[in-house]
Each structure stands twice: as C-alpha cells, then as structure tokens.
Amino acid sequence: MAITVKKIDASPKMNLLERTYLREILRGLWITNRHFVVNLTRHILNLFRIKAKPGAVTIQYPEQHRGYHKRLRTAHYLAHRENDDGPRCVGCMMCETICPAKCIYIVPTEHPDPNVEKQAVKFTIDMGRCVYCGFCVEACPEDAIRMDSGRLDICSYSREGMLWDMDRLLANHHDPAPYKDEEKWLDEEF
Amino acid sequence: MWIELLTKVLIAGAVLTGILSFGGVLTWVERKQSALMQDRIGANRASILGFRLLGLFHIMTDGIKMFAKEEFIPRTDHRVLFLLAPFIAWLFSLAAFAVIPFSPELTVAGYQVTLQVANPEIGLLVAFAMMGMAIYGVVLGGWASNNNYALLGSMRATAQMISYEVALAAAAVGPLLIYRTLNMQEIVIRQGQLYNGWLPLWGIVLQPLAFLLFLVAGAAETKRVPFDLPEGESEIIGFNLEYSSMRFGAFMFTDFIEKILVACLTTTIFLGGWQVPWLADDGFRLGGALALELGPMVVWLLRLAAFGIKVCALIYVLMLVRWTLPRFRYDQLMSFGWKFLLPLAFLNIIVTAAVVLVLNL
Amino acid sequence: MSEERKMVKVTIDGNQYEVPAGTTILEAAKSVGIEIPHYCYHPGLSIAGACRMCLIEVEKVPKLQIACYMTVGDEMVIYTTNERVKRARKAMLEFHLVNHPLDCPVCDQAGECGLQNYYMLHGLYISRVRENKVKKGKKATQIGPHVMLDQERCILCSRCVRFCNEIPKTSELGMFNRGDREVVDIFPGRELNNPYSANVINLCPVGALLSKEFRFKTRVWYLETVKSVCMRCSRACNILIDYNIRRPWKNDGRRLSRLRPRYNAQVNDWWICDEGRFGFDFVDAADRLTVPLSAAGGAQAHSGWEAALETAAARLRQAASEIGDVAVLVSPRLANEALYLLKRVLAEQLPGTSVAFSSLNEHEPTQDDILRKADKNPNTTGAEFLSLTTANAEVKDHAYLLQTAKKGNLSALIVIAHNPVGLPELYGRGWSEALDKVPFKVFIGTNENETSRKADVVLPLAAFAEYDGTVTNFAGRVQLLRRAFDPLGEALAGWELLRRLGNALGGEYDFGSAGEVFDELAQKEDKFAGLSYGDIGELGVKVNG
Ligand code: SF4
Ligand code: SF4
Ligand code: FES
C-alpha cells in the first residue's frame, strides 16, 4: 500500500458556545445524574423485592466468582506420577531456563530409579515475581508443572511467604470449581 | 443573662455536632453517590456482627483507621506549626458556621431562639474572613513540612484559593447590592418577598449569573474537583504530602466541612436560606390569601427543614460535578479564575449597581 | 620444518585452494573454514571411520567418501554441501538417532551435544521410526572415579576407546557385540581410573560418558566461560573455566562449575589430567579466607584491610629495626606479577629481609610422560626467572628458615601460600614450636590452614579463577590466567595485595591492573625482556631466556 499523506486539522475551530464547554458539561452532568437516579431506583426496588435489573455491575469477589476461562493461568502446581506418589518433575530445569521472570529455583539430584535418573530436591517458585506467562508449563517435557489449579489468591504478609516450595507446589492441585463451564464461554465468545 | 449564655452554648454545641456529624456522613455519601453514578456498589464491607448497613460503618472504620495509623512527622524546624496546621484549617472553617442562619427566630417561653450562634451586622464578612483564614492551614502545612514538593503544593493551593476568594467575594456583591445588608438573618428575610405575589424573589432569581459564579468560585475555594489541584492526591502531590494519620484526616475532613460551608453560604445568599416559598409566618399564603394556617412551631420546623434540603441539594450538585468533570490544568485554572470569573463578577456588579440605581430599589 | 611440504590444488565447493599433500579432506576443508560434520574423527586420535557423518562427494568417485580418512589429491574436486551430501548426512543422523533415547531433558550433555547440534544444522527431519528402540544395557553406571556411562546414549564412535588405547595407553574400554546390540563398555574387572580418564567425557560427542562430579549440578547453558590455564602443576595446561554466578542456588553456591581442556599444541594438546580437572574445590571451599584477620588482642578477629595492613606494616618495620631477621617464605603458587611486586616491595621497603623459597605443597608429586609434572606449582620457573628460588645463592630454603626460627633469630615472618605447620613430613618437624618463637607472623593465602591459625595477621588472597595474571610454565612459557569472577569476600589478587602492603609500608605503588605490573616486570627483568601483557594471547609466549 502506498503511503499517502492525510491532512488532519489538529485544532478544529470551535464557536464560542463550544469553547465554553457549557453544553458538554451539562450533558456530562446529565449522564452521571441519570445513572445515579436509575441505579438508586433499581436498588430500592430490589431492596423491596420488586424485580428490577441490578443497580450495579459489581461482582462481590470472594463470595461471587466470575468463573474462570479454562485457559486462564492460575497458581502453579507440580503434578504427581500416576502409579506411585513421586512428583512427575525430573528436575530438567527447562522451566527454570525459559522463565522470563527468573523466579523458579531448582536444585536437582539423582533419582533412586536409574530409569528416571534425575529429580528435583528443591523446587521453589517465587510467586511474587512470577508474571503468569505460562512459559514454564509450555516448556515442561514431563507435563509436571501446571497452571490450572484454579487458585489466584496467592497473597502473603511477607516476601518469604510468596516463595512456594516443593511441598506446597506438590500439595496444590487442579480444582475444577472456579472454572466456568465450557459451553458458556463458547456461547459468549464464538 | 445566664439563660442566654446557656442557650448560646447549647446552640453552638448543636451546630458544631450537626456539622461534624454531617461531615462524617458526607464521606459515606460521597462514596455511595459516586458508586451509584458509576454502576458500582461502593464501600460496603465494614460490618458489625454481620450487619453492614449499606456501608455506613465505614465512617467509623475510617476514623479508627486514621487514628490508629502510624503518624509520621518529618524532621522540620517548625514542628509546632506542622502539628497545628491541619487544625488551623479545620478550626477556621468550623468557625465560619457561627454566622449561618439555619433557622428564623422562634419565641419559646418568652425567649428569642435562633439556630444561629451569632448574628452580627457584618455576618457575611465574618464568614468570608473565616474562609480566608483557612488558607493559613494550607500554607503553614506545606511550609512546615520541610519538603519542596509540599511547599510547591501549598504555594499552588494558596495562589488558587486567594484568586478564587476574590471572585467569590465579587460574586456575592451583586445580591448584597440588592439586599443592602450584610446581616445574614436579614439577607434571608429580604428573600421572603414575592414578585407579583407568586415568584419568590430569591437571590438566584435576581442574580442567576452571580449564583453560578459564586458556586464555581466556592467549589474552587474549597478545592473541589475540577479545581482539586492542591490535593491531586496521587498525581501532582499537594501540600499535605508529609501528613499522615489523623492530621491528614483533619485536612481531609476540613474539605468536607468547607463543602458544607459553601453550600450553606450559597443557600443563604441565593436560595432564600430557610425560606419556604409562599410560607409566611402564619402559614401558606397564595395570592395574598391564607391558604393553610400553621402554628409557629410547625412553620419554624418547616423552615429549618427547607434550609437542610437546600444545602443537601447543593452538595449533591457539587458531588455530581466532582465525579463527572476532569481536573483543570494549573494555567487553565488560573486564567479561568482571573480572566473569566472575575471579569464576569465585576460586570455583574456594574450592571446590578446600574439597575439598582435606575430603579431606585 | 626443514623441507617444504608439497602443495596440491583442490577445489572445494567450487573454490580453488592450495593445501599440503597428505592432509585429509576434513582437515583441508577446516583449514579454509569449511566445517564438515563428524563424530568419530578427532585430530588427536587415530582415524576410525566409524560414524559416516563426514560423507562428502569427490568428483569421479562413484560413492560418497568419508572426509576424515580420504586425503587430498591434486586437482581433486570436492563437494561438501551438495544435495547428495546433504541427503547422506540426514540419513546418517537418522541412523544415529534410531536407537538413541530422547531423554535430553535429564541428560547433562544437552546444550553441547553433537546429536542435538547436527540435528539442528543438518537433520530437522520428522521421525519415521515406528519400531521400539533397542534398549541397551544399564543406564548411568559409574565406570571409574570420575566417569558415568550410559550405553543407551552412545553412538559408537569409539573415540573413548581409542583415547584409552592411544593416550594413557591403558585400554580400559572396548566395543562389545555387533550390529544394533553393539555397546561400549569397560573390560570386565577393570575400572576407568587412569590419570587422564575424564578426557573421555569431552571426547564423547553425546551424553554417554558424563562427569560424576558435574552430574546434575547445573545446566551447561547456565555457564559462562573464560580461557585460562591450570595451576595444578608446572605444565600449566590450557583450560576453559566454566562458572556459574547468575544462579547461586545451584551446586550449593559454588561458582566454579567445571574445567575443560583447551587445545594448545605447545603445552597440552587436547588433554588435561584428572588431578587438574577436579582440583579446584578449594576455590569455593568453606575454609576460604574471605576477610583480613588480625590477632592483636589474642584470638584472630575480623578487621578491615586498612587496619590489618597498618598493623602488619608497623610491626614489620619495628621488627626490621630490631636485632633479628625479617623473613619471607615465598611460594611459586603466586603469579609473576605478585612475585615481582613482592621482590620490589621487599627490596625497597624492607631491605635486608631474608627470602626463603620452597616449592613444596600438599599435592602428591605425581608425574608421567604425558602431561603431569612432579612440581605441583604453576610458577616455579617464573620465580626462578625473578631470582626468587634457591637457584639464587642469596635465597634460602624452608629448612634454613626452620633452623633460624628455632634459634629465635627471627623477629618477623611472612608465610605466603605455604602450610609448614600442617605438613611436617614435608617441611620438617618443629615448625609449630619454632613459629611460637617468632614474635610477629603474617600469613598470606587463600584458605585457612594450620599455619594461618598461628599468624598474627592473615591477609586473604584471591584464588584460582579470581584474578588476572601470568604464570611461567616449566618450559618457560608465559601464559595468561584469567579472572572468571570476583574474589570471595574481601580477598585480593596477589599483586593488588602486595601493592597495598607496599603502600602501607610507606612506598608508592600505583598499578591499576595485573597487566601494568607485568609490563613493568618485562622492562625491569631481563628474562622477560621484550614481552608485553597485551601480546601474550590465548596460547602464551615462550620466554627468550
Ligand atoms: S508462569 Fe512464567 S514467570 Fe511464572 S514461573 Fe512460569 S515461566 Fe516463570
Ligand atoms: S520443566 Fe518440568 S520436568 Fe523440567 S524441571 Fe521444570 S517442572 Fe520439572
Ligand atoms: S568422522 Fe569420518 S567417519 Fe566418523
């Protein structure tokens, strides 16, 4: 496509009325006022159990959930092997390598089973630094690290509390509850 | 003599308590009103035994939080001034309420009682003077903070408040020319007349332009959006930068009180104060004939309520503006004040004076 | 070279070159900058022709030829990248990968693996293998003190076998069975424990032979590398230092991860010995001296550099003015720059100090005809060139020092990087008591030891890989030591430490880097005449003298 020059009048001429902004100010006030009145009416109607639209679009977060998309990345967990209880992770450090936030710290060691060879003894994620990019999940050859736990409440009172060690990561697991059912999303989006 | 003193103290106490509680409630109103305007719910989490009461407890939690927070006092040579500044602002804005006539006079058991702490002949000047004094809180606060940002913030705030004070006073001159008095009670009584027997001759009817100018200048004077540059909480850093805990709270609370003050003054000068349309001392009169006879106590109460309702309506409008308009830039603010408001106010004075002279009112 | 080698004309990929007759096509191509992929060929070993990765096309020869074995002929026309060669490479790679396990994530070789690299360069095919892979023997067995063997990963290039046969000539390894059952293994009852065994780790193009010590400690792509020389014996083999300072949680915080040999035909060819390769534990050991210590009030206590140097200077000056001797026990572990500054500072600030020299240290004096020298110091020749060894009649040895100290004739003693108290069989008995008779003792060294514990002032020295400098090997070759990371704690490089000590003693020594010290050394010392730090280069230069 050829490059064309389009002249745009940067300062459109305004007449006096426009320049006082009075009309626009009044229009703005009218809009906010209308919202106030309409919402107040709805709230009152709802208070008296008369069916009306809700007066606010707020979701009361901890009690109400929006329902997560199944592809939403939530707090990490380390998966267990099917047969025994060992972690799937083989300590290959692929996730540590790919992590753009450099927030995964792995110390590997020999696995007692020579066919597994390697395992992690220390596996810590600094959740305070994680950017939830999901690269670690993508990189893992063992499907060991996953981000579909459905947990997002990871706050802590200290920085140390944001360091999730291996035990904590292994204890965390997939919880389907906070996810919206798939059909609903499909309805909404496609 | 003693009885008089006692009633004065009682009245002053009532006004003080009323204003302070109203200021507290306004913090809640501001939150809830803005929430409703923006399709939100607003603060509603504070609960006592599971009761949330539409978030009203937030007034309390705010207070507790303010008191419980760590107080940080910067290293400064003017420690005393630093500590006093918020209360200077607070004190003077409260003092201005002394001259507001909340109600007409009522004769109870032979005594004249008014919900007005003092009724000096120059009542309006007292109110303006007190409002002017409140600037000192801001100036001293910024200066004593020993912080360049706070100092600049307070310079900005001072310049703004002084500029708009001129416009504010100038806007009030128009109606005063008509009322020919500075006595607050008197001003209200003057507005009780009817034009042609049906149109109440309130300040707003006689001086619509002055009303608008007064309201705008008042909003600026009290640092309300869109004139809230002095505070500009997070973005441009204001005079209260170094304040924390309850001293910061005092500054913030002063804002609410000043807002009430502006609303009260506007009501008194332009909205007929406690006047209820067509309500005379003995009841409602239409076209000169008594339509509904009412006892003096009922009339008094009606008038008191009228004052409250007018103040509330004004505050509603001020808040509506706050949550609708974006903030001015500083140069816009200044040129608006000096090049727009003030000339208009002067023009209003001249025209009014001419009309008053010609009609020999 | 007395007679000129005959040159032949060859055409490689369309360009004409002249190369010496008798070179292999692979080497000839390499000399003009064309890399031909190969696994089994190694310039230091005999040619096996086992992997067929190096197939190239020679005009007028019907079949593809292996470049590693075929020598160039006059007017030969060679194609290294035409379609036929590329197809062959792909096919060979496919062969190699048929039975190779895909356990790269747990394999330490990943990142520097020949299979990975060539797959990315020449393979990039989609697997067609439907059958199960042939499972070879055990996974990850230890076959020697330093080497782990994983037969599954082996591509049977036989480099390791040839190495053991040809370099240490110990022949521990062999190829067993045929066809897809073929495996590399250790001969029954043997152990891969020759002094050069760990070289097979570098020779192995894949992860079949891996280092026991390095195993699972980190990943190779986390490592940074500098070129340096080994300080474990007077050959000073050229090495690469692989270190990790960006991920300190790995390997218990050790910064030095591993050493690898670096080719230098004049010194060590492609190899290094196991002692040198694994002899760097002291660098990150817990007993490293990290801060200056001073025992003014009895027990040794942490003190700043200023305070420690001032105490040392004051006491040394005082001792020098007393009846009795100030003596220094010099170590050939110091680099040339430190030795030179030591010499200069002593001559200028503490004239009359008696210098003693000893090349003893805690290492066993192993030696052979391959690389290892009995002198386990990197810089004895350098000290000799600076006339700091007993070759100079004025310089005493440790035995003389012991006698003087025992008689109580020493008023102060500086011990540099020696441990006479801890090694009585070597240095002679009675050092501990003799030192008690010396009123003031300074210890300069990298790690705490029995001698350092007796000192009044301890000055921490930067260890191997922590400083720049030069050492002179037994053959008089000056080579560069390179700093990989900062010294631990407050330790200082030898030249910097002596510079500061000299200043504390009242001199004015103003050097900004080891290079500046070396350049002055080269001007002042005949043996090093004509050298300059900037010209030493990666492979070192031989001293004229
Ligand atoms: S989600 Fe991204 S930032 Fe977080 S741990 Fe994984 S790779 Fe690192
Ligand atoms: S990529 Fe997977 S297997 Fe590898 S260390 Fe991370 S979680 Fe473990
Ligand atoms: S390198 Fe030529 S056959 Fe292996």
Convert the pLDDT of each residue in C8-30 to its tens digit: 999 999 999 999 999 999 999 99
| Shared-domain flag, residues C38 and C166 | no
Does the pLDDT at position B80 exceed 80? yes
| Shared-domain flag, residues C389 and C485 | yes
Q: Is B47 a member of any domain?
A: no
Cα–Cα distance for residue pair B273/B279, rounded to 1 Å: 13
Does the pLDDT at position C544 exceed 80? no
Restricting to A residues 21-40, those with a Cβ less than 8 Å away from any Cβ of C are none
pLDDT of residue C48: 93
Cα–Cα distance for residue pair B80/C164, rounded to 1 Å: 88
Query: Which residue do the tokens 């009361």 mark?
Result: A60
pLDDT of residue A183: 56
Cα–Cα distance for residue pair C248/C114, rounded to 1 Å: 28
Q: Lowest-confidence range among A118-122, C37-41, C131-135, C331-335?
A: C131-135
pLDDT of residue A113: 85
Q: Is C268 a member of any domain?
A: no
| Shared-domain flag, residues C438 and C489 | yes
Other chains touching A, judged by 3 or more CB pairs under 8 Å: B, C
Average pLDDT over residues B77-104: 90
Please count the other Cβ atoms lying within 10 Å of the Cβ belonging to residue B157.
25
pLDDT of residue A189: 47
Average pLDDT over residues B147-166: 89
Q: Is C263 a member of any domain?
A: no
Provide the token pair at A59: 């979701």
Cα–Cα distance for residue pair B294/B277, rounded to 1 Å: 14
**C105–A97 C-beta distance less than 8 A:** no
| Rounded alpha-carbon distances, angstroms, from residue C373 to B295, C264, C282 | 123, 17, 21
Count of residues in chain C? 545
**B324–A28 C-beta distance less than 8 A:** yes
Does the pLDDT at position A123 exceed 50? yes
Restricting to A residues 105-124, those with a Cβ less than 8 Å away from any Cβ of C are 105, 107-110, 114-118, 122
Query: What would the 3-class secondary structure string for C121-169 be?
Result: HHHCCCCCCCCCCCCCCCCCEECCCCEEECHHHCCCCCHHHHHHHHCCC
Identify any residues that bridge with C69 across adjacent strands, giving them in sequence order. Answer: none
Q: Lowest-confidence range among B43-47, B178-182, B260-264, C12-16?
A: B43-47
Q: Is C333 a member of any domain?
A: yes
pLDDT of residue C480: 96
- In short, whether A86's Cβ falls inside 6 Å of ligand 1 is no
Q: How far is CA B7 from the centre of its chain?
A: 24
- In short, whether A95's Cβ falls inside 6 Å of ligand 2 is yes
At C508, the amino acid letter reads E
Mention every residue, 6+ apart, whose C-beta is less than 8 A from residue C391: C384
Pairing type for strands C147-149 and C209-211 reads: antiparallel
Q: Is C515 a member of any domain?
A: yes
Q: Lowest-confidence range among B194-203, C180-189, C353-362?
A: B194-203
Does the pLDDT at position C479 exceed 90? yes
Does the pLDDT at position C2 exceed 70? no
pLDDT of residue A190: 41
Report the percent of chain B where pLDDT is more than 90.
38
**Helix A22-47 and helix B2-37, axial crossing angle in degrees, nearest 10:** 90
Separation of first and last alpha carbons in chain A: 32
Chain C nearest-CA distance from A170, in A, is 20
Q: Is B19 a member of any domain?
A: no
| Shared-domain flag, residues C421 and C538 | yes
Closest CB to C216 among A115, A118, A142: A118
Does the pLDDT at position B95 exceed 50? yes
| Rounded alpha-carbon distances, angstroms, from residue C539 to B233, B262, C229, C262 | 65, 87, 9, 9
Does the pLDDT at position A186 exceed 60? no
pLDDT of residue B222: 80
Compute the Cα dihedral for C422, C425, C429, C431 and give only its sign.
negative
Select from B15, B164, B170, B148 the least CA-distant residue to B74. B148
Cα–Cα distance for residue pair C385/C528, rounded to 1 Å: 8
CATH number, domain containing residue C142: 3.30.70.20
| Shared-domain flag, residues C39 and C108 | no
| Shared-domain flag, residues C340 and C452 | yes
Cα–Cα distance for residue pair B180/B166, rounded to 1 Å: 20
**Phi first, then psi: what are they for C24, rounded to 5°?**
-75, 160
Q: Lowest-confidence range among A28-42, A174-188, B286-300, C410-424?
A: A174-188
- In short, whether A131's Cβ falls inside 6 Å of ligand 1 is yes
Chain C interface disruption, residue of A89, A99, A107, most C CBs within 10 A: A107
Q: How far is CA B301 from the centre of its chain?
A: 22
Q: Is C284 a member of any domain?
A: no
Q: Do chains B and A touch (3 or more CB pairs under 8 A)?
A: yes
Domain end among C211, C241, C276: C211
pLDDT of residue B77: 86
**Type and span of the H or E element at A24:** helix A22-47
**C139–A117 C-beta distance less than 8 A:** yes
pLDDT of residue C40: 95
Cis peptide before B226 (omega within 30 of 0): yes
Ligand number nearest to the C-alpha of A95: 2
Q: How far is CA A143 from the centre of its chain?
A: 21
**pLDDT: is B232 or C169 the higher one?**
C169
Provide the token pair at C401: 């020092």
Identify any residues that bridge with B351 across adjacent strands, giving them in sequence order. Answer: none
Summarize pLDDT for C64-118 with one digit per residue, the tens: 999 999 999 999 999 999 999 999 999 999 999 988 998 899 999 999 999 999 9
**A114–C140 C-beta distance less than 8 A:** yes
**Type and span of the H or E element at A141:** none
Chain A nearest-CA distance from B34, in A, is 8
Cα–Cα distance for residue pair C255/A103, rounded to 1 Å: 20
**Type and span of the H or E element at C259:** strand C256-261
Cα–Cα distance for residue pair B177/B352, rounded to 1 Å: 7
Q: Name chain A contacts of C140, Cβ cutoff 8 Å.
A: 114, 117
**A105–C216 C-beta distance less than 8 A:** no
10 Å CB burial of residue C508 (0-12, 13-18, 19+) is: exposed
CATH number, domain containing residue C64: 3.10.20.740
Select from B122, B130, B168 the least CA-distant residue to B266. B168
Structural domain including C51 reads 7-95
| Rounded alpha-carbon distances, angstroms, from residue B148 to B141, B218, B249, C236 | 12, 28, 22, 63
With contact defined as beta carbons under 8 Å apart, do B254 and B223 qualify? no
Provide the token pair at C167: 């370099």
Q: Is B64 a member of any domain?
A: no
Average pLDDT over residues A121-134: 95
User: How many structural domains are present in chain C?
Assistant: 3
Domain end among C148, C181, C211: C211
Closest CB to A57 among B33, B37, B39: B39
The segment with the largest mean pLDDT, out of A108-112, B70-74, C460-464, C539-543, is C460-464
Does the pLDDT at position C1 exceed 60? no
Q: Is B101 a member of any domain?
A: yes
Band the pLDDT of C4: cuts 50, 70, 90: low
> pTM here?
0.75
Average pLDDT over residues A68-75: 88
Please count the other Cβ atoms lying within 10 Å of the Cβ belonging to residue C104.
18
Kindly provide the ipTM of the predicted complex, given to two decimals: 0.85
**pLDDT: is C419 or B361 the higher one?**
C419
Cα–Cα distance for residue pair A140/A89, rounded to 1 Å: 9
Summarize pLDDT for C254-311 with one digit per residue, the tens: 999 999 999 999 999 999 999 999 999 999 999 999 999 998 767 889 989 999 999 9
Query: What would the 3-class secondary structure string for chain B be?
Result: CHHHHHHHHHHHHHHHHHHHHHHHHHHHHHHHHHHHHCCCCCCCCCCECCECHHHCHHHHHHHHHHHHCCCCCCCCCCHHHHHHHHHHHHHHHHHHHHHCCCCCCEEECCEEECCCCCCCCCHHHHHHHHHHHHHHHHHHHHHHCCCHHHHHHHHHHHHHHHHHHHHHHHHHHHHHHHHCCCCHHHHHHHCCCEECCCEECCHHHHCHHHHHHHHHHHHHHCCCCCCCCCCCCCCCCCCCCCCCHHHHHHHHHHHHHHHHHHHHHHHHHHCCCCCCCCEECCEEEECCEEEEECCHHHHHHHHHHHHHHHHHHHHHHHHHHHCCCCCCCHHHHHHHHHHHHHHHHHHHHHHHHHHHHHHCC
| Shared-domain flag, residues C89 and C169 | no
| Cα of A85 from ligand 1 centre, angstroms | 25
Q: Is C240 a member of any domain?
A: no
Count of H helices and E strands in chain C? 15, 24
Q: Mean pLDDT for chain B?
A: 88
Other chains touching C, judged by 3 or more CB pairs under 8 Å: A
Summarize pLDDT for A13-60 with one digit per residue, the tens: 888 888 878 888 899 999 999 999 999 999 899 888 888 888 888 888
Please count the other Cβ atoms lying within 10 Å of the Cβ belonging to residue A157.
7
Identify any residues that bridge with A119 across adjacent strands, giving them in sequence order. Answer: A109
Restricting to A residues 143-182, those with a Cβ less than 8 Å away from any Cβ of C are none
Does the pLDDT at position C533 exceed 90? yes
CATH code reported for the domain at A77-171 = 3.30.70.3270
- C-alpha angle with apex C479: C475 to C483, nearest 5 degrees? 145
Report the percent of chain A where pLDDT is more than 70.
94
With contact defined as beta carbons under 8 Å apart, do C437 and C408 qualify? yes
Average pLDDT over residues C456-482: 95
Structural domain including B197 reads 74-359
**A57–B40 C-beta distance less than 8 A:** yes
| Shared-domain flag, residues C181 and C105 | yes
Provide the token pair at C388: 């700091």
Q: Is C511 a member of any domain?
A: yes
Q: Is B23 a member of any domain?
A: no
Provide the token pair at C322: 């007393």
pLDDT of residue B234: 65
Does the pLDDT at position C408 exceed 70? yes
Band the pLDDT of C352: cuts 50, 70, 90: confident
CATH number, domain containing residue C495: 3.40.50.740
Band the pLDDT of C545: cuts 50, 70, 90: low
**A142–C105 C-beta distance less than 8 A:** yes
Provide the token pair at C503: 């200043």
Please count the other Cβ atoms lying within 10 Å of the Cβ belonging to residue C425.
6
pLDDT of residue C3: 54
| Shared-domain flag, residues C86 and C102 | no
With contact defined as beta carbons under 8 Å apart, do C187 and C164 qualify? no
| Rounded alpha-carbon distances, angstroms, from residue C160 to A64, B56, C197, C209 | 66, 82, 9, 9
* H helical segments located in C230-285: 274-278
| Shared-domain flag, residues C80 and C176 | no
pLDDT of residue C140: 85
| Cα of A91 from ligand 2 centre, angstroms | 5
Domain end among C61, C95, C129: C95
Closest CB to C219 among A97, A105, A110: A97
Provide the token pair at C196: 């050069």
| Shared-domain flag, residues C155 and C195 | yes
Pairing type for strands C141-142 and C76-79 reads: unpaired
Q: Which amino acids bring their CB within 6 angstroms of ligand 3?
A: C 38-41, 49-54, 66, 68
Band the pLDDT of B296: cuts 50, 70, 90: confident
